[in-house]
Structure 1
Amino acid sequence: MIPDLHTPLSPAPERQRLRLLGALAGASALALAGCGTPPKPADTAPAPVPRPGAAPAPIALNGSYAQRADVMAQVPDMARRLGLPETYVRNAIGNADFLPSVPRLILPSGKGVRRSWRVYRSRFIDNTRIRAGVQFWNENATQLQKAEREYGVPAKYIVGIVGVETIYGRNVGNMRVIDTLSTLSFDFPQAHPRAEQRNAFFRSELEHYLQLTWQNRDDPLTLRGSYAGAMGLPQFMPSSWVKHAVDFDRDGHIDLFDSPTDVVGSVAHYFKQYGWVSGLEPVYDVNFDQSRLQLATLLAPDITPTFTPEQFGELGAMPVGLPAGFRHKLALIELENGYAPATYYAGTDNFYVITRYNNSSYYAKAVIDLANEVERAMQRQAN
């Protein structure tokens, strides 16, 4: 779940995770006394980041950020704003390593690269994911039914998210989160077209990560995830974990790595928080009346549902299969196919909600298609 990032994760080894039990003592301790009451997140914004075009920050070509005086000088203020012990923040950031591959991975594709929905879809809709989705659904049927009752999100879309993100836990990422988020906080590539905005985003995620690991008594040096810092089966960024993850198994701890129940509940809760409408299909096929078609007008709002069905029709787009009395707004979704004609759909508010998980119409349609394929496989299994 990383806005604007759509690269599949590489296979990850077995996650090594250590719990910090109580306060640590001795010379190597992190001074965690008093962690029984989690600190209230600070309202203060992260420290300013360099503007695009400014002199590049010194790159930590080797070793840990402990070698970077400019980075370590920020620790006292960061700890104060977050309400965390300075020794905790200093130990975490000082033991973070610069990862030279991460700035390269975070850059968007070069100009002239044509997007292809068919190619994109083929990465996520295959027999491996469908079979794994059926297994995940069978193993977590009770939890999926409970999530659907509580949040109104159909089981298949929860299954679709987890399948697209990590193939149900097979590819959760193998980079230390402290390394990736520190790299993107202190050495974000200025060549990125939105460097200032994205740098601020990852600086905030690093701070959320430190608060999250402190609150959960996790070792901040051991959790692993994607090259952008997303974690667990549903690939929640730290801020999403803090805001939207739920303890769905009621064991007193939110675990998106090893508790499928928490994963199911958290994905459903995330959708609900962003406005999921129970009973509303996320997407419909669409036909065009070329004599009336005003494609530019239909595409102007992008993926934001803007048009009533009547307005859609007046502009030359006819959704297929809308139920009687349909009163929701629609958006025309365009999925490019390289040099071939684009594919179009009518998206509803629930399509837009899926894009809040990852800001891409290609991603949202892949989730929907995988969800439907797994559901069909489940129906064949039942017969």
Structure 2
Amino acid sequence: MAPALLAALLAFGALSATPASAQASGERRAVTAVRGTIPYATRDDAMRFADDVAARRNLDRNWVRATIGAARLLPNVPRLMLPAPVGTAKNWRVYRSRFIDPVRIAAGARFWRDNAATLARAEAEYGVPPEIVVGIIGVETIYGRNMGNFRVIDALATLSFDFPQAHPRAAERVAFFRGELESFLSTESRTAEDPMVPLGSYAGAMGMPQFMPSSMAKYAVDFDGDGRIDLVNNPADVIGSVASYFKGFGWQRGMPSTFPVRFDTTRLQMPILMAPDIKPTFSTDSFMAAGAVLEPEAQPFPGLLALIELQNGAESPSYVAGTQNFYVITRYNWSSYYAMSVLDLGNEVKAAMAQ
């Protein structure tokens, strides 16, 4: 195991269960955890998983069984994982309005001002601009205001052993959440912290940036050098860790995330342009040969492009050309609508900073 990764694992136990409130005030608020119902100690499948994790990770078997056994089913969480019913119209303007509002923009400007030097250092080290980091933290938790009130162990156990089978990718998602539960157990076993304490989202994401346990292990950094990683109360660690995450997924310094795009209807081949979805696949020449038209400032772009479609309900969709950096943002949340919200919020906050 690399020393840096081991340090991250050891430091993870410093993650506090008491979320911070608005960073501008520096106040903290008590959070009452959502209580689960039936403990997983009664489930044979959960105990078999505990034994398997203990054997593969060389962990104390009794501790793993006791920890998973103390986790409780969250009855309302499985339904939250189900996709929208077939035929539900997507609407970018409605989606955007959930995240781009005066409250988030004002909170983002305060966060940026309070942490300007740290944001600049993160850009210098990782190449990720402040507006991207600020956009992520704002969309995820409004800068620490809404970090979740579910016990992480309950959320991960529920989605590991009671994931809805009606989900079209149920087997894949169960494997994902069991991997996250294993990562959480492995990390907690290396600390003196109580694994029942950390709180997060109903999916088990934690802290201001809502990192899953495996992301904590791989990308979280002690950015202020105080010897511990705290993604709940320490904005420096949050900023550095978000930038580290993007760098780890291939963020390219100085590359725009999107370009405006329009279409030449005389040679438009929309099925070809849409086939790769959001993954950058087209050179500038092949993109334009299929009928996409870029503004002169985007030509010639040396990287690959994707056509990003944002549906607007019954109205015409919106389109942009997405680069590798746009694709990297979707590695945080696999949604083009999410990525555009991050970009738009970051840009709105940046504009507010200039006023």
TM-score of the aligned structures, taking structure 2 as reference length: 0.89
Q: Which residue of 2 aligns with 1:196?
A: 171
Tell me which amino acid in the other structure corresponds to 1:277. Answer: Q
Q: Which amino acid aligns with 1:96?
A: A
CA deviation digits over 1:105-139, x for unaligned, max 9? 11111111111000100000000000000011011
Distance in 1 of aligned mates of 2:49 and 2:110: 47
Deviation at 1:320, TM superposition (A): 2.6
Q: Which one of 14, 19, 27 corresponds to residue 30 of structure 2?
A: 14
CA distance, structure 1, for counterparts of residue 296 and residue 208 of structure 2: 34
Task: Give the direction of change, closer, same or farther, for the CA distance of 1:321–1:14 in structure 2 (3 Å limit).
Answer: farther
C-alpha separation in 2, matches of 1:305 and 1:333: 10
Q: Which runs of 5+ in 2 are unaligned?
A: 1-20, 22-27
CA distance in structure 1 between the partners assigned to 2:134 and 2:265 by the alignment: 37
8 Å contact 2:208–2:238 — kept in the other structure?
yes
Match of residue 144, structure 1, among 119, 125, 128: 119
C-alpha change, 1:324 and 1:107, in structure 2 (3 Å) is: closer
Shift of 1:282: 0.1
Contact 2:284/2:300 (8 A) holds in 1: no
1:345 equivalent among 315, 320, 345: 320
Q: Tell me which protein shows more helix as a share of its residues.
A: 2
Q: Indicate the residue corresponding to 1:109 in structure 2.
A: 84
Displacement, 1:324?
A: 5.6
Give the corresponding residue for 2:334: 359
Equivalent position to 1:71, from 41, 46, 55: 46
Q: How big is the shift at 1:72? A: 2.2
With over 3 angstroms needed to count, the CA separation of the structure-2 counterparts of 1:353 and 1:122, relative to structure 1, is same
Asked if 1:269 is matched to 2:256, the reply is no
Q: Aligned partners of 1:292, 1:324: CA distance in 2, in Å?
A: 19
The letter for the 2-side match of 1:181 is L
Q: Is the 8 A contact 2:40 2:72 kept in 1?
A: yes
Shift of 1:313: 1.5
Quote the residue 2:132 is aligned against: 157
SS in 2 for 1:335: strand
Compute the displacement of 1:309 (Å): 1.4
What secondary structure sits across from 1:322 in the alignment? Answer: helix
Q: Is 1:322–2:297 an aligned residue pair? A: yes
Q: Is residue 286 of structure 1 aligned with residue 302 of structure 2? A: no
- The answer as to 2:104 corresponding to 1:88 is no
Name the residue aligned to 1:100: 75
Aligned to 2:96: 121
**Aligned pairs, number:** 327
Deviations 1:261-312 (A, max 9, x none): 0100000011111111111110111111111111111011111111111222
CA contact (8 A) 2:259 2:298 kept: no
TM-score for both structures, normalised by structure 1: 0.82
Cα distance in 2, alignment partners of residues 250 and 14 from structure 1: 27
Compared CA separation, residues 183 and 301, structure 1 to 2 (3 A): same
Describe the shift of the 1:74–1:311 C-alpha distance in structure 2 as closer, same or farther (beyond 3 A): closer
Q: Report the CA distance between 1:15 and its aligned residue.
A: 4.8
- Give, in angstroms, the shift of residue 77 of structure 1: 2.4
Cα distance between partner residues in 2 of 1:214 and 1:260: 26
Please say if residues 234 and 263 of structure 1, whose CA atoms lie closer than 8 Å, have aligned partners that are also in contact: yes
